[in-house]
A = this chain, B = another copy of it.
């Protein structure tokens, strides 16, 4: 298939698709210094439309790359959800309010910001920290996978041909819609009512062959983050399973002119007989309306799909006006609009032999109203990125890659179930009374919303047992008998941190730096840089017995064959593979960092001692007391040890001084490195 004349490039990772999932993956690769290319068939990034909620967990993740504050500052903060329902007379009125984000689950709350800005933050990060550049207008045309070389870590088993498109080819054809006198780009080309445009792009590139050049890329790993119509998925012969419903929704992004008083709240509005509207207030005075199109207003095309040509912004607005009556709503500014039919589908496979992976819409599609799509897609890539990076760098064996499908396919199924329930409730007609079985109970709807909020926050994600999640209870339930899954090598003792859960992300409260008394949110100490972390909750180190336990552990950690030295390359910094952080519970002012063993504050010939490794659970001057021991359910005298994955999920909880279990945990998947005779820890004079 591949011509001998074409130039051949070797890369560690090839990413197909530069939407949120592809860019998240590229961000990890940039951060970890992995040789990567990322291509997208479109000529430009998106500029408007495609607003999306950012979950609390998503903001925590963006913050771990140092870009969370940009989203937090620019986004609209959605604080409250208001429910509007028909009263006895059939007119809508506010029937309840709940907080949009459950108080206390995160230091962030859900916000809304359009996808183009999120992509900008990723692009800025990638360009600022690596040579990786998104190559736009580049279409993959052939994919060959030598499965026999899948387990050879030095091999480049995937071969992809890339075709560079002309500018015209790479520009998606968008209908320019005249609305209120001005021309507005619609979003139908991205809608699932629109046909896949890949074939069209391919065809047009054949026609203008002169404008094209082709090249061959040989990759160790390929990630298909190329959307619902994924070319990578089709090349692999994988499919999405599920079904579509016959609910049709219109979407308007407008600057509303309305006397509806809750237009800046997230609202779920059920009218008596005209359908539902969801209101999502956005940045820059915009409001997104998701509007149910009733059957009278649409003409069906073939196979249950709607003929999109009948839908216009005016038609969608008319639906909204009926639902929101007696309140008036209109607009002078229309930013974007689209229409879609809900379909819920999950991929049959998330990877081909852990060499070619699918992420984001390529493995799950669902309705946008729950504000989950972009989040779950980016989190697929967030889950996958550090694993690929650690394997490519030769730090971990390939077994950790199996956890990607195990962990993310479950999330995708949970998401589909959530969306199915949520959509049914939201699309249905309100029940007239308790005897009206076809109608939707609005009490049930509000309850589902409250329960759904925890899911929708992203905080509830709970990864199941594997060799990187030492959750034995869970392991017995789930892994038993399934040979495709890897078992934990050690057993956690969750009673030592009774409010933490192995397999979930570690929560955050404030701790103080021992060296300068500055308060930090605990998660701020866990940037996404690819490193594992051992967090030593050292307890009260003034207690002599406890001090001895800490000393014993540190003596072992300092030895030449310790897990800290064995798995760190000779040229790696002492914290580049496994970082040790200490959070003690004694009084800050009674101690200094020099009261702690040197391995907890390593010495560097140029920088001196490391002042950023030891923290304390104590009262700050300006930001209160985080009470991390209490919040995590850890005994203030005895403490415990917690191992965190590079993505902040908890791998293991054990006694502070159980070095052997920690060593066994890492030994199950990490690869010993050639270290220099001196080792990587410099001992001060």
The docked-state distance in angstroms from the alpha carbon of A78 to that of B99 is: 36
Partner of A622, one of B69, B99, B285: B99
Among residues of B, the one whose C-beta sits closest to the C-beta of A98 is B621
Alpha-carbon gap, A69 to B606, bound state (A): 30
Contact A255 B607 (CB under 8 A): yes
Identify which of B80, B607, B608 contacts A621 (C-beta below 8 A): B80
Residues 255-277 of A, flagged 1 when their CB comes within 8 A of B and 0 if not, give: 11111011111000000000000
How far, in angstroms, from A80 to B258 measured CA to CA in the complex?
52
Shortest Cβ gap from A62 to chain B (Å): 14
Interface code A587-603, partner B: CB below 8 Å = 1, 0 otherwise? 00100111000000000
Q: Per a CB cutoff under 8 Å, which of B80, B333, B515, B622 touches A101?
A: B622
- Residues of chain B within 8 A of A333, CB atoms compared: 606
What chain B residues lie within 8 Å of A263 (beta carbons)? 515, 611
Name which residue of chain B comes closest to A107, CB basis. B622
Are the CB atoms of B69 and A518 closer together than 8 Å? no
Specify the chain B residue showing the minimal Cβ separation from A608: B257
Q: Does A17 contact B (CB under 8 A)?
A: no
Min CB distance A577 to B, Å, is 22
Chain B residues within 8 Å of A499, by CB: none
Bound form: Cα–Cα A607–B335 in Å: 13
Q: Is A97 an interface residue (CB 8 A)?
A: yes
Among A80, A262, A611, the most chain B Cβ lie within 10 Å of the Cβ of: A80
Tell me if A179 is interfacial: C-beta within 8 Å of chain B. Answer: no
Contacts of A607 in B (CB 8 A): 255, 257, 285
A338 within 8 A of B: no
Q: What is the oligomeric copy number?
A: 2
Residue of B nearest to A591 (CB): B261
* Complex alpha-carbon distance, A103 and B621, angstroms: 6
Enumerate chain B residues within 8 angstroms of A281, measured Cβ to Cβ: 516
Say yes or no for A483: interface residue by CB 8 A criterion: no
Instruction: Find chain B residues with CB under 8 A from A515 CB.
Output: 263-265
Contact A606–B79 (Cβ < 8 Å): no
Report how far A73 CA is from B256 CA in the complex, Å: 36
> B77–A264 contact, CB under 8 A?
no
Q: Which of A333, A515, A518 has the most CB of B within 10 A?
A: A518
Which residues of chain A from 580 to 627 have any CB-CB distance to chain B below 8 Å in the complex? 589, 592-594, 605-608, 611, 620-622
Interface hits, A311-362 → B, CB 8 Å: 332-333
Contact between A79 and B109, CB atoms less than 8 A apart: no
The listed residue (B256, B261, B589) touching A593 by CB distance below 8 A is B261
- Which chain B residues border A517 with CB–CB below 8 Å? 79-80, 265
Q: Are A608 and B255 in contact (CB under 8 A)?
A: yes
- When distances are taken between beta carbons in the complex, the residues of chain B under 8 Å from A257 are 607-608
Q: Which of B256, B592, B621 contacts A79 (CB 8 A)?
A: B621
Residue of B nearest to A516 (CB): B264
**Assuming A69-B73, A264-B611, A515-B264, is B605 touching A332 (CB within 8 A)?**
yes
| Chain B minimum-CB-distance residue to A254 | B608
Which residues from B are CB-within-8-Å of A262? 592
Q: Are B621 and A516 in contact (CB under 8 A)?
A: no
Q: A606 near B516 (CB under 8 angstroms)?
A: no
- Answer whether A608 and B79 are a contact pair too, CB < 8 Å, given A69-B73, A73-B69, A261-B594: no
Can you name 11 extra interface pairs (CB under 8 A) apart from A78-B516, A79-B621, A258-B608? A79-B516, A79-B518, A79-B620, A80-B516, A80-B517, A80-B621, A97-B589, A255-B608, A257-B607, A265-B515, A332-B606
Listed by A's residue number, 11 A-B pairs whose Cβ atoms lie within 8 Å are: A77-B518, A79-B519, A80-B517, A99-B621, A103-B622, A256-B608, A257-B607, A259-B594, A261-B592, A263-B515, A285-B607
